[in-house]
Structure 1
């Protein structure tokens, strides 16, 4: 799914820098954020208030290299929420989620006197455009569990949404979670108002949709959007290049090691080349390297 905005689109994608900030990061009206968080953690208890933690991840909450844009907030019960949007490749998103959650955990512990038993919950949410974990479900909740899958601790909860795995149609969306993910995946594809699902009239979704309506944007807002689009496009391009180069380097290292092992076992240059699926010249270069060492 392409999360980048195209000029003739009516709605800006939620899973974009601008769209994320206008919806999840809307400090003027937090209705959408509160209802979305409640849906994401599958809680029956409404979230009444949220406070944005602007400086919680200062210097790392926006990673232009990977196209990730984070939000950190706290509800009225001091439960902490960290939300990530990722529309590009995310090979290390699990490590990133752990880093954010443990960073928050350490910050809570360092505040002074505390009781481990009274630490509030931390929810780390990753919303991904592409498939990452090898599971079929689009919504995954992870806690610390034992070998039998029995819950040990739920103070840290990791939640993953994968938009590519969401296949429900409009008529099948009944829960807030389903309505939220359907909206995130399809809103920017709408070309006519008659295509609106009925549930888009629900106030919490309407608040977000109105913020993403390009027809209601002022000239300054449109200019700001164009700047962000250009910036994001460059960031994604740079990150894709880095990932490609890293994979090529890893592949080269594997082939080099294969050739070294083959030569050390007495295989001929031709056999080594065939085994590693490389040219004879490449094998000769590895051989020279071994000789020089």
Structure 2
């Protein structure tokens, strides 16, 4: 999915760093955030209030791997929400979600809540442009369950949205979750108000869409936007290079092990899905060393 802003684009992509902070991270008006979180966790209970955690995970909230730990907040019942946006490749993303959630869990305990029965809930939300899970569903909600898929514990909940898997058209969007994902996936492609779906007149979505309207930005705000976009683009490129290099190293190590086990060059090439010339080059490296 293309997420970069271009000069003649009316609306800034929500999935961009700037767009996400202007909508989900809007501290002056949290209506969009509250309605979105309620939809994402599939709750029938409205979230009345959210308080942003300013210094959560200081020093590790931006990891330079094309993923941005965007925000952490609490509702009026002290339930915790962690939200991360990912617009590039996402290796080991599930492990990162667990890291964030467990870090929050440990912080809650250290603050003196040693009665584990009173611990409030933690919702770790990941919104991704690309696919990472081997399921067809675009919305995945996961808890700790036993071998019969029965709920073992719901104090931690992991929610994943994969935008590429969402294919519903405007007419099919009936729930707030549908409307949210449709908006995230299409808002930056709209060029005329006549293209607005009717549900974009709902107040919670209007709040977000107004924040994304580039026509309402001051020159300084536009300059800040361009800087953020350039920074994010470089981050994505750097991460893509690191992933490619890591996969190359993994292939080489697999080939080395396969050759030691006695597999032929052709078998190694088939195993790792590379050319025989690549396997031969690895083989020559082994002999040279």
Q: TM-score, normalised by structure 2?
A: 0.94
Q: Distance in 2 between matches of 1:92 and 1:273?
A: 30
Q: Partner of 1:48 in structure 2?
A: 48
Q: Distance in 1 between matches of 2:282 and 2:118?
A: 61
Q: Kindly report which structure 2 residues correspond to 1:57-206, keeping only aligned pairs within 5 A, or say none.
A: 57-206=57-206
Tell me, yes or no, if structure 1 residue 7 matches structure 2 residue 7.
yes
Q: Partner of 1:229 in structure 2?
A: 229
RMSD: 1.3
Q: Distance in 1 between matches of 2:42 and 2:192?
A: 32
Tell me the alpha carbon deviations over residues 224-244 of structure 1, each in whole angstroms, 9 at most, x when there is no partner. 000001100110010000000
Tell me, yes or no, if structure 1 residue 23 matches structure 2 residue 15.
no
Tell me, yes or no, if structure 1 residue 275 matches structure 2 residue 267.
yes
Classify the secondary structure of the residue corresponding to 1:179: helix
Unaligned runs of 5+ in 1: none
**Greater Rg over alpha carbons, structure:** 1
Q: Distance in 2 between matches of 1:57 and 1:27?
A: 19
Q: Distance in 1 between matches of 2:3 and 2:65?
A: 16
Tell me the alpha carbon deviations over residues 29-73 of structure 1, each in whole angstroms, 9 at most, x when there is no partner. 000000000000011111010000011111112223323242100
The answer (yes or no) to whether the contact 1:259–1:286 under 8 Å persists in 2 is: no
Tell me the alpha carbon deviations over residues 193-227 of structure 1, each in whole angstroms, 9 at most, x when there is no partner. 10000000100000000000001100110000000
Classify the secondary structure of the residue corresponding to 1:90: coil
When the two structures are aligned, how many residues end up with a matched partner?
281
Q: Distance in 2 between matches of 1:109 and 1:204?
A: 34
Q: CA deviation at 1:281?
A: 5.2
Q: Distance in 1 between matches of 2:146 and 2:217?
A: 51
The answer (yes or no) to whether the contact 2:67–2:86 under 8 Å persists in 1 is: yes
Unaligned runs of 5+ in 2: 270-275
Classify the secondary structure of the residue corresponding to 1:100: helix
Q: Distance in 2 between matches of 1:68 and 1:164?
A: 19
Tell me the alpha carbon deviations over residues 222-268 of structure 1, each in whole angstroms, 9 at most, x when there is no partner. 00000001100110010000000000010111111111221xxxx7x
Q: CA deviation at 1:26?
A: 0.4
Q: Distance in 2 between matches of 1:141 and 1:274?
A: 42
Q: Distance in 1 between matches of 2:237 and 2:189?
A: 23
Tell me the alpha carbon deviations over residues 72-130 of structure 1, each in whole angstroms, 9 at most, x when there is no partner. 00000000000010010001110000000000000000112531111000000000100
The answer (yes or no) to whether the contact 2:21–2:70 under 8 Å persists in 1 is: no
Q: Distance in 1 between matches of 2:89 and 2:2?
A: 12
The answer (yes or no) to whether the contact 2:255–2:282 under 8 Å persists in 1 is: no
Q: Distance in 1 between matches of 2:65 and 2:157?
A: 26
Q: Partner of 1:260 in structure 2?
A: 260
Q: CA deviation at 1:282?
A: 3.9
Q: Distance in 1 between matches of 2:167 and 2:198?
A: 18
